[in-house]
């Protein structure tokens, strides 16, 4: 529908006629003696042609219309206001280079598998607000919480192993996520941590960081990445090794810390297990936010303004050149 932002502008409609009446009264007072001497009537002064007078009136109406800021308001568009606030913390330590995962019938390192499956998880988060933390020796905020999930996926795709060191600062990653959540007035406060080892760097221990998380109402979901058995070939034949021995030692700690916040610990030994874990995360209760609507607005003031300028140029040009 058509709407005017400043309809009170139309109160100025009679101003030209008031000014004209006052000017004529002043002119009559000044010219009355001459008219009495010459015997001429003031009413005999030439008047502009009615066409030009009507064009001037139309220009004034168009100026008022432009000043009242007309706009076309479209139909209401519902805004998605129900979703989750998820902060993703991804381990970039040196151990994520271990090739003990399968992806498409080929063996890949842990980070390649995590990036592939996590990208699909991010793409499905339509309506959720996502953030990304990368950590190794230290934790860095790569993407603040945003509805632009494609930007978050791009930041993850551009991440490089070893970019922030070789060790694992799990406590710092949790603490950084809590800090970012505390900057929000309302949030579902869910932190998803993906790691393949135990904490061995950073200023905060996992216990200290989880204590902050509990105080802030942050639920921690920890995902341990790493296969339990890998076949390695040597000079004397193949042998079975456990590339996730450090993770196995830290699992009980991760379970206790995650559950203390109302979250859970998951173990992903393969691509399929990680995909199943993300399906479990899909069942998190969404944060119910106030619904809102947005109505598209198209400004129209430039149309009457342009016509008014054209008419004024026409009228003033006629007066200038007769």
Range scoring the smallest mean pLDDT among 175-184, 206-215, 310-319 = 310-319
Share of the chain above pLDDT 90, in %: 23
- Is the CB of residue 192 less than 8 Å from the CB of residue 87? yes
Q: What is the pLDDT, as a whole number, of residue 24?
A: 65
| Alpha helix ranges (H) inside 149-301 | 149-158, 170-182, 206-216, 245-260, 271-281
Residue with more model confidence, 228 or 129: 129
Most confident among 28-32, 191-195, 296-300 (mean pLDDT): 191-195
Region 79-288: CATH code: 3.40.50.410
Cα gap 84→278, rounded to integer Å:
14
pLDDT beyond 60 at 195: yes
Strand locations in 124-244, DSSP E?
Answer: 129-135, 139-146, 190-195, 219-225, 230-234, 237-241
Residue 235, pLDDT score = 58
CB atoms within 10 A of CB 310: 12
At 257 the pLDDT is 92
Report the distance separating Cα 269 and Cα 266, nearest Å.
Answer: 10
Residues 103 and 113: beta-carbon distance below 8 Å: yes
Q: Which of 51-55, 175-179, 207-211 has the least mean pLDDT?
A: 51-55
Mind listing the pLDDT tens digit for each residue in 117-169?
888 888 888 778 899 999 999 999 999 998 888 999 999 998 988 777 888 99
Q: What is the pLDDT of residue 232?
A: 58
pLDDT band at 4, cuts 50/70/90?
confident
Threshold 0.85, pTM exceeds: no
pLDDT in tens, 262-305: 999 998 888 888 888 888 887 766 655 555 666 778 888 888 88
Q: Residue for token digits 């990653």?
A: 173
Q: Break the chain into its structural domains and give their ranges.
A: 48-75+296-322, 79-288
The overall average pLDDT reported for the chain is 81
Chain-centre distance for alpha carbon 311: 44
């Amino acid at each position: 529908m058509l709407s005017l932002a400043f309809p009170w502008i139309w109160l100025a409609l009679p101003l030209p006629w008031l000014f004209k009446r006052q000017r004529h009264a002043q002119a009559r007072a000044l010219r009355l003696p001459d008219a009495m001497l010459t015997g001429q009537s003031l009413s005999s002064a030439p008047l502009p042609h009615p066409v030009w007078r009507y064009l001037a009136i139309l220009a004034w109406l168009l100026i008022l219309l432009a000043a009242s800021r007309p706009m076309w308001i479209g139909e209401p568009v519902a805004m998605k206001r129900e979703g989750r606030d998820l902060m993703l913390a991804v381990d970039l330590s040196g151990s994520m280079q271990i090739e003990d995962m399968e992806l498409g019938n080929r063996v890949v390192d842990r980070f390649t598998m995590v990036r592939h499956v996590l990208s699909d998880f991010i793409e499905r988060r339509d309506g959720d607000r996502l953030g990304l933390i990368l950590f190794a020796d230290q934790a860095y905020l790569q993407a603040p919480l945003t509805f632009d999930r494609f930007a978050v996926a791009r930041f993850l795709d551009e991440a490089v192993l070893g970019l922030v060191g070789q060790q694992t600062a799990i406590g710092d990653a949790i603490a950084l996520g809590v800090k970012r959540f505390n900057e929000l007035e309302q949030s579902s406060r869910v932190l998803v941590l993906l790691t393949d080892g135990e904490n061995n760097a950073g200023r905060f221990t996992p216990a200290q960081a989880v204590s902050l998380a509990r105080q802030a109402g942050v639920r921690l979901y920890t995902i341990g990445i790493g296969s339990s058995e890998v076949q390695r070939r040597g000079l004397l034949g193949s042998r079975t090794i456990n590339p996730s021995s450090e993770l196995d030692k830290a699992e009980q700690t991760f379970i206790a810390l995650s559950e203390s916040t109302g979250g859970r610990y998951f173990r992903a030994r393969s691509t399929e297990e990680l995909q199943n874990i993300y399906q479990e995360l899909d069942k998190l209760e969404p944060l119910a936010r106030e619904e809102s609507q947005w109505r598209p607005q198209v400004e129209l003031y430039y149309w009457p303004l342009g016509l008014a300028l054209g008419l004024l140029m026409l009228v003033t040009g006629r007066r200038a050149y007769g």
